[in-house]
Chain A
Amino acid sequence: MELPLVLLIGLLTAVATWLMLSRNLIRLLLGFAVLGNAVNLAIFVSGRLTRDAPPLVPLDAETITGAFANPLPQALVLTAIVIGFGLLAFALVLAWVAYERLGTVRTDEMRVAEPPEEKA
């Protein structure tokens, strides 16, 4: 049952790459957000999928019985979601400040660090 999810992850990655290749800083950031989602899902699916069985030990039991969802990728993804959010928030602020300073959101017009070569 993983196949459709894998295909979706591929699509999300492609969309993210497409957006990140744009010269528009905002689209680049949107791509960044989508890529985060794709990567999280990839980690999730690598731990295999289990339906409707959260990794919870019943209150009256010492250990879990029967099939249960893999808790390890969940823990990793949980961390990743939060960190990804922090990163995106910071990047957004940077984009905003950059726009105020440079007056553009196009990356090909932001040439302070690497100025275009003057024609000889």
Chain B
Amino acid sequence: MLTVVLAPFFAALAAPWLVRRLDRRASFVLALVPVAIFAWTLSRLDAFAAGLTDVTPWVPGLDVALAFRLDGLSGLFVLLISGIGTLVVLYAGGYLAGHPMLGRFFVFLMLFMGAMLGLVLADDLIALFVFWELTSLASYLLVGFQSEKPAARRAALQALLITGTGGLALLAGLILAAIAGGSWRLSDLVLAGEAIRGHGLYLPAMGLIVLGSFTKSAQWPFHSWLPGAMQAPTPVSAYLHSATMVKAGVYLLARLDPAFGGTAAWTTTLLVIGGITMLAGLVLALLETDLKLVLAWTTVSALGALVFLIGPATEDSARAAMAFLLTHALYKGALFMAAGNVDHEAGTRDLRDLSGLVRAMPITFAATAVSSASMAGFPLSLGWVSKAITKAAAIEAGGFVPVAVVTFATLLLVAIAGVVAIEPFLGRKSEAAKEAHEAPPSMLVGPLALASLSLLFGLFPDLVSDAVLAPAASAVAGVPLAVEAKVIKPFDWTLGLTLVAFAAGAALYVLWQRRAELWRDRLEPVLSRGPDAGYDHALVGLARLAAWQTRLWQPGLLHRYTAATFAVIVVATLAALFRGDLRLAFPLDGLRLIEIAVMALTAAAAIVAAIATTRLLAVTALGMVGIGVALIFMLFGAPDLAITQFMVETLVVVLLALVLVRLPGFRLSATADRPRALHAAIAGATGLLVIVLLLGVLAEPFDSRLSEWFARTSVPEAFGHNIVNVILVDFRAIDTLGEIIVVFAAALAGLAAIAARATRRGAR
């Protein structure tokens, strides 16, 4: 199975070379890959019910494996991905013939195909997530394929940001699910439903996974990226944004239904959001004038319907969801390709400019008519079958509301089918229609094949019901199910409802013809404030937030950085101190007057240095602090330190004096220390922190072993009586060498800076 998933990736690598050699005929070669996968899957049809597993170690240390599993649900998806994929590759060869970037296009398309196959076959949660993100990435590249158009770039980014954000939620959700279910394998989680639903992490895991699925499958209010994604070339719309990728969210929900389904939270969320998406999508579809956007909105609606059907997690709803999944993929793929034909040959997709194309494009019309009939659910089409199953589920769910929703959706779909199939093709020939002619064969194979299947499966549902739909529905429901093809009871009371819906839909279509413009204008202000505008606002807001916090943290002002650094040091250290048991010592015994005097003098000098307003006073005070420190060293048995400190302090004062006379006056401007109160607080806190730290150190027992060792070995081993000197030049001689190098380097660098300054002056 690894080969199956990897094959499209290798094909992607070869695609540019093939296109260079064969030009558009490369599509025939590339189509062999999905054809082979399709054939392979069909040959494994018997294994669907039991499931077929294939594990390749990937990151064994983290227990992540490329585990793949082919069962009813993934099998149905693989058939759709490879089957429709074949037709789309062929179609793209015709649609983008002569496009300079055809090679690149096929790279992206095959990349997507591989990612999508990996997604539906993955049994490992991490592998699933990786492929999930890969499909988002491929979608980004494909939507933005016509990168010269700003609208395409915006749409691509929007799709990436929305699905990418959802992907992050999904990752968190999958991790929580793995913790709750105790395994990283989907096949284990599906069996651990009881444990997961009873686990404390159930709600967060479910919420995050549902969120990820909703963004991917364009559920309200995350749907706005899908109509935007219609900026992609039509083969992409047909493939990613109707038949396959957008169904990834649906796939995941269906897959996890046995694990997560059955609770009130799950059912309510899916029913409400799915229902809103389904009905809103249909209404918005009617309001569009762009043929492709009409189809995009019906796709949104169909995705809502699928979520809606998965929600109840009953056996009937599982059957209905899978039947509708197949039905929708077949008719929507065909409709998109047919719409692409119209766009390609008539030069426009605007329904207001299209009319009377049937003479010029009879084959495209036939495919559109059959597929639209399936969409509306007319008899003899697959749509009729899946609608019957759906209605059975709605009745089972027991209630007026589900049946009413389904009937209302049928009504709207009938009207939309009229918009899609009748409006462009029948009637008086429009200007655009006069120029049009039928599309080339490569662009007719796809729509014709899919439309024929809609018809074939509609006439003979047995062809798919037992072999494909039953195992798929079983995987969704978690128990073996049969899908009876003969569910259609001709004189059921719902038939009356269906007929009423058909009639009302037809009436709506006729009425709509006259009233559409009026309603479009009337609803324009409402629609322009939808989630799509919200996305723009969110993006602007995010940029503002980023700019604001960058200004806050990186103002380019040194004193703010310093203040933040000291504040963090104080807060973090205090937090750490008070978490342990802090003991303080206050050693105060036998002070001598001279010690007190020296320390008081030093303290006074330091305070003067802090508030000095002239250069001379500041330097003098600093010098006094240094001398005070030297005296302290002297008083407490460190004559070497005292001598060094005296020398260094003298040099510092000389240096300071040398430099300061070349710098401007030191008189404090009023603003130099602002904000004074805050700075004083930070300074005081830092001082207090040091006091607390040192008192804590003094409270600890003193370990004198090292010092005593130096005292003991100084004379016998190093022949020196001044222990400090021996440590410096013998025991720690390398340290001292390093110190010398540092001072030397500082001197060199200082000299270089001064020399450079002199050179500049000379050059002037």
> What residues of chain A have their CB less than 8 Å away from a CB belonging to chain B?
1-15, 17-24, 26-28, 30, 33-34, 37-38, 40-42, 44-59, 61-64, 68-72, 74-75, 77-79, 81-90, 92-97, 99-100, 105-108, 110-111, 113-117
B591 CB contacts on chain A under 8 angstroms: 1, 4
- Structural contact, A57 and B715, CB atoms closer than 8 A: yes
CA gap between A46 and B602 in the complex, in Å = 19
Known: A81-B641, A89-B655, A107-B557. A74 touches B743 (CB 8 A): no
Q: Would A15 and B559 count as touching, CB distance under 8 A?
A: no
Q: Tell me whether B732 and A92 are in contact (CB under 8 A).
A: no
> Hey, which bits of chain B sit against chain A, CB under 8 A?
551, 554-559, 562-563, 566, 586-592, 595-596, 599, 602-603, 606-607, 609-610, 615, 618, 622, 625-626, 629, 632-633, 635-641, 644-645, 648, 651-652, 655-656, 659-660, 662-664, 666, 668-669, 671-673, 679-680, 682-684, 686-688, 690-691, 694-695, 697-698, 702, 704, 706-707, 710-712, 714-716, 721-724, 727-728, 732, 735-736, 739, 742-743, 745-747, 749-750, 753-754, 756-757
Partner of A24, one of B586, B652, B668: B668
Q: Would you call B690 and A42 a contact (CB within 8 A)?
A: yes
A13 shortest CB reach to chain B, Å:
4
Cβ contact within 8 Å between A1 and B684 = no
B629 vs chain A, min Cβ distance (A): 5
Q: Is the beta-carbon distance between B727 and A95 smaller than 8 angstroms?
A: no
- Please indicate the chain A residues that have their CB under 8 angstroms from the CB of B736 in the complex: 79
Extra contacts, 12 of them, besides A71-B710, A92-B655 (Cβ < 8 A), are A1-B589, A6-B695, A8-B603, A17-B682, A21-B679, A52-B635, A55-B724, A57-B722, A63-B715, A86-B746, A88-B652, A107-B557
B664 contacts A21, CB within 8 Å?
Answer: no
Contacts of A26 in B (CB 8 A): 615, 618, 660, 663, 666
Return chain B residues, CB-CB under 8 Å to A38. 690
Chain A residue contacts of B757, Cβ below 8 A: 97, 100
Nearest 9 interchain pairs by C-beta: A14-B687, A69-B637, A114-B556, A10-B691, A86-B746, A18-B683, A107-B558, A17-B683, A75-B727
With the chains together, A34 CA to B25 CA distance in Å? 79
Instruction: Provide a sorted-by-A list of 22 A–B residue pairs whose CB atoms are within 8 angstroms.
Output: A1-B588, A2-B587, A5-B632, A6-B695, A14-B683, A14-B688, A15-B687, A23-B672, A27-B618, A40-B629, A47-B707, A54-B640, A57-B714, A57-B721, A58-B721, A69-B637, A71-B707, A74-B640, A79-B735, A82-B648, A89-B746, A114-B556
Closest to B743 in A: A86
User: Are B637 and A50 in contact, with the CB atoms below 8 A?
Assistant: yes
CB-based nearest B residue for A10: B691
Q: Is the CB of A46 within 8 A of B694?
A: yes
- Do residues A86 and B687 form an inter-chain contact, with CB atoms below 8 A? no
- A110 to B561 CA separation, bound complex (whole angstroms): 14
A6 in complex: contacting residue of B589, B603, B698, CB < 8 Å: B698
Asked if B636 and A49 make an inter-chain contact with CB atoms under 8 angstroms apart, the answer reads yes
A18-B680 in contact given A50-B636, A57-B723 (Cβ < 8 Å): yes
Q: How far is the CB of A114 from chain B (nearest CB, A)?
A: 3
**Is there contact, CB below 8 Å, between B637 and A53?**
yes
Asked whether, in the complex, the Cβ of A4 is within 8 Å of the Cβ of B673, the reply is: no
A114 and B566: CB pair below 8 A?
Answer: no
Chain B binding surface, main DSSP class: helix
Determine if A69 and B638 form an interchain contact, defined as CB atoms under 8 angstroms apart.
yes
A7 to B691, CA, bound (A): 6
Q: Are B694 and A9 in contact (CB under 8 A)?
A: yes
A17-B683, A21-B683, A57-B715 are known contacts. Are A78 and B641 too (CB-CB below 8 A)?
yes
Chain A residues near B664 (CB, 8 Å)? 99, 105
| B610-A72 in contact (CB<8A) | no
A56 to B637, alpha carbons, bound, how many Å?
10
Contacts A17-B686, A99-B663; A30 near B622 (Cβ below 8 A): yes
User: In the assembly, what is the distance between CA of A47 and CA of B716, in Å?
Assistant: 24
Please pick, from B618, B645, B671, B723, the residue contacting A81 in the complex, using a CB distance under 8 A.
B645
Q: Which of B557, B622, B659, B711 contacts A33 (CB 8 A)?
A: B622
B630 to chain A, nearest CB (A): 10
Q: Which residues of A contact B722 (CB under 8 A)?
A: 55-57
Asked if A8 and B704 sit within 8 Å, CB to CB, the answer is no
**Which residues does chain B contribute within 8 Å of A94, judged by CB atoms?**
753
Q: Which residues of B contact A87 (CB under 8 A)?
A: 746
Residue contact A72 to B644, C-beta cutoff 8 Å: no
Instruction: Say yes or no: A96 contacts B640, CB within 8 Å.
Output: no
Give complex CA distance A64, B350 in Å.
102
Closest residue of chain A to B645 (Cβ to Cβ) is A81
Q: In the bound complex, how far is the Cα of B712 from the Cα of A53, in angstroms? A: 16
CB-CB < 8 A to B562: which residues of A? 20-21
Chain A contacts for B639, CB-based, 8 A:
54
Contact: B659 with A83, CB < 8 Å?
A: no
Q: What's the minimum C-beta distance from A20 to chain B, rounded to whole angstroms?
A: 6
A44 touches B606 (CB 8 A): no
Is A51's CB under 8 angstroms from B753's CB?
no
B586 touches A3 (CB 8 A): yes
Question: Nearest A residue to B732 by beta-carbon distance?
Answer: A75
A4-B599, A30-B618, A107-B559 known; A23-B659 Cβ under 8 A: no
- A74 to B641, Cβ gap below 8 A? yes
Chain A residues whose CB sits within 8 angstroms of the CB of B652 once the complex forms:
33, 85, 88-89
Whether the pair A52, B694 counts as a contact (CB closer than 8 A) is no
> Which A residues are in CB contact (< 8 Å) with B559?
21-23, 107-108
Q: How far is the CA of A17 from the CA of B563 in the complex (A)?
A: 9
Contact B629 A41 (CB under 8 A): yes
Residue of A nearest to B712 (CB): A63
